[in-house]
Structure 1
């Protein structure tokens, strides 16, 4: 039996004898990804709760409240009487925003003057805040345009002229990708590989670090002296988590693409290849941390430090080009940043394969380098039996 096959068979026996280890590379990833897909299954946030603070008891103010409540993205959940109640509702997070209608609202409109409707919102909740601002601005703009057109019509202005005067300059936003601005399409699909990146790096650190902690590294590598043979043993050890984690990730992406209807504009095969390389580079990075530090505890800490913030630095949630130089350098060093670009290009943009090839080549090169570092660290560890058994 080859060294690779012997190492794979040994790892399989270990996983079968340790149900907790097996669960961490099989059922836990699958359930975690199912939970992610379920969280974002609604697609878009609807009926965000708001309160209304009206100081104008008039038909116009009541019409504005009805229009706010009729908007799919908003739900008027409370009427507050003063600033203190508005502040309390926001601080308790019972509502995400308070719409203030000032006194004299209707009187100003009847006189042909202007008035201001104020939205008080919690800008710390970025997504909620932006959605509230969009919907409230749209409702107030619609009401304002309607009042202006009615007033002009009473003055005898023709309908065609009214339409031009209401909006002499128009904006035409055109969404090229993710036209429905659905959070499931871009956020769930991006978080699945991000979670896989964390799990794979942890699995790589645990698989190798466990041998150091248990003092069994000599048993594992005793038939594999030398760098190349140690590399073969390492590949055999990482083969099972590689297969199970990649399968879990592809199952989640296939669910989003097939059952949820988010068709892939480019090539699913390239996404699958990129995901396989992301899992491989993550496993290799975890194994390299264990091989270089000769400590399971340090390897797991390093894996968490490197993989947990990967999504935040990927450019999906916060623009990559808007980051500081140091932050962007860190982001570019993370493999997930490049895989996220590959997935966006192929899934939503339908980019040509030539644009994806450099990312694939970079992930492959990083995997080979990290595997070489891990194997070198294990060769050194095999010669230091006094370090075995440390945590």
Structure 2
């Protein structure tokens, strides 16, 4: 009887998908467009040549030398020379410039007198990533220029070039980048956005598959009379979506290099299996919401509230440990949070399998909650025909 319920439900779902273009798009075209769009957005990998403006009020060889150093920095590009500060601020408000560097009049005279020269840098802090890159590159170019000025001045006073070079920097700080050494945004940001969008589509499909049966009052035609076989009917209904989204999950793992040969075999197996767990968990959670609300419109609203802002809570754009307790609690009930942790651990950091016990356990817990909760909610709504038909 359980096998019969599974087969009947599967045939019913396949028949629906064969005639419903919107659900076909949710399973096939939207995930494809998502992956292609994010790959295109982050195809450059790194942020380069952010447009900045230069106001050179000094017009001297030293000011032009500093301007060339700033323009040579990889993250910025001098794209305009505003006439004054007012024009520069207007260009920043219109989003044509991300920052403005001002070299005041008398800059070269101050340097030649041995005084400290002032250079002003204004940047739009609304865009934190761009602002950080702009400030870092402008600061690096300015410090390089200042170090060169000091070295030339000391050599003119008769000091040897070797002594000057060794004493220019009293402390030599060596920075070593670990895990995404090239600061590739397609790796850490694009690689997190794809599953973040997929989880929205997955849960929407899970909620729609169950919710439309309740909306159309077709529960008796779908669910068997025996409560013991509701789980089989639910499995048959969600299986096509599980296969489709699992395939997209594997395509994502391959396209972003999570299954490349450099990743340990055990880590590849763990990532692959946990991707399937996450897909199943979101489908079942969607079914749970639909059965619990017995209203497709309300269920989709809950799904949107649960999944749409999820990326903000997973700790990829803003550190999870710096969030308040309420945000951490919300992050803990999102399967995406635990998947991103696993992805970073085994794709970028190559941690031992044992170190991933917590995120793996959390994903399995989400799967168990979705499976048990959706079956119990289905049994309840199946016995309450007065709740069917809500639009």
Normalised by the shorter chain, which TM-score bucket? over 0.9
Contact 1:37/1:252 (<8 A) preserved: no
Aligned 8 A contact 2:70 2:138 in 1: yes
Provide the rounded CA distance (Å) in 2 between the counterparts of 1:92 and 1:366. Answer: 45
Residue in 2 that maps onto 1:264: 263
Deviation at residue 224 of structure 1 after TM alignment: 4.4
CA contact (8 A) 1:213 1:388 kept: yes
Rounded to whole Å, the distance in 2 between the matches of 1:12 and 1:312 is 35
* TM-score scaled by length of structure 1: 0.96
Q: Distance in 1 between matches of 2:258 and 2:236?
A: 33
Give the root-mean-square deviation of aligned CA atoms. Answer: 1.6
Give the match for residue 232 of structure 1.
232
Aligned to 1:354: 354
2:273 and 2:357 map into 1 onto residues whose CA distance is 11
Distance 2:25 2:85 in 1: 53
Q: What's 1:152 paired with?
A: 154
Question: Who is 1:33 aligned against?
Answer: 35
Q: Which residue of 2 is the match for residue 306 of structure 1?
A: 306
Q: SS at the partner of 1:198?
A: helix
The reply to whether residue 321 of structure 1 matches residue 321 of structure 2 is yes
Secondary structure in structure 2 of the residue aligned to 1:77: strand
Cα distance change, pair 136–262 in 1 and its aligned pair in 2 (3 A): farther
Contact (CA 8 Å) 1:277, 1:360: kept in 2 or not? no
**Which consecutive unaligned segments of at least 5 residues does structure 2 have?**
none
CA distance in 2, matches of 1:21, 1:367: 23
Q: Which whole-Å CA distance do the structure 1 matches of 2:217 and 2:57 have between them?
A: 74
Post-superposition offset of 1:262:
9.9
Deviation at 1:225, TM superposition (A): 2.1
**Superposition pairs for residues 109-188 of structure 1, below 5 Å?**
109-188=111-190
CA distance in structure 1 between the partners assigned to 2:168 and 2:219 by the alignment: 77
85-94 vs 20-29, which moves further = 20-29
Q: In the alignment, what sits opposite 2:382? A: 382
Gaps of 5+ in 1: none
| Distance in 1 of aligned mates of 2:269 and 2:40 | 25
- Partner of 2:55: helix, strand, or coil? strand
Q: Where does structure 1 differ by over 6 angstroms across 4 or more consecutive aligned residues?
A: none
Please give the alpha-carbon distance, in whole angstroms, between the structure 2 residues aligned to 1:104 and 1:165: 28
Preserved CA contact (<8 Å) 1:56 1:104 = yes
Instruction: Report the 3-state secondary structure (helix = DSSP H, G, I; strand = E; otherwise coil) of the residue aligned with 1:286.
Output: helix
Task: Choose 354-363 or 245-254, whichever is displaced more.
Answer: 354-363
Deviations 1:342-362 (A, max 9, x none): 110010000111112332232
Pairing 1:218-297 to 2, within 5 Å after superposition: 218-221=220-223, 223-226=224-227, 228-257=228-257, 264=263, 267-297=267-297
159-168 or 119-128: which moved more? Answer: 159-168
What number of residue pairs does the alignment pair up?
A: 388
* 8 Å Cα contact 1:108/1:114 also seen in 2: yes
Q: Distance between the aligned counterparts of 1:34 and 1:73, measured in 2?
A: 25
Deviations 1:332-391 (A, max 9, x none): 221111111011001000011111233223212221222211111111111222222112
Aligned partner of 2:370 in structure 1 is: 370
Contact 1:257–1:263, Cα closer than 8 Å, also in 2: no
For residues 331 and 9 of structure 1, what CA distance do their matches in structure 2 show?
Answer: 37
SS at match of 2:77: strand
The structure-2 alpha-carbon separation of the partners of 1:149 and 1:376, relative to structure 1 and needing over 3 Å to count, comes to same
Aligned mates of 1:365, 1:231 — CA distance in 2: 18
Paired with 1:365 and 1:82, the residues of 2 have a C-alpha distance of: 60
Shift of 1:320: 0.7
State the SS of the aligned residue for 1:26: helix
State the distance in 1 between where 2:183 and 2:263 align.
16
Cα separation, 1, equivalents of 2:331 and 2:215: 32
Give the whole-Å Cα distance in 1 for the aligned partners of 2:304 and 2:167: 58
Once the 2 structures are TM-superposed, how far is the Cα of residue 38 of structure 1 from its aligned partner? 1.6
Q: Does 1:90 align with 2:92?
A: yes
Residue 46 of structure 1: which of 45, 48, 51 is its match? Answer: 48
SS at match of 1:257: coil
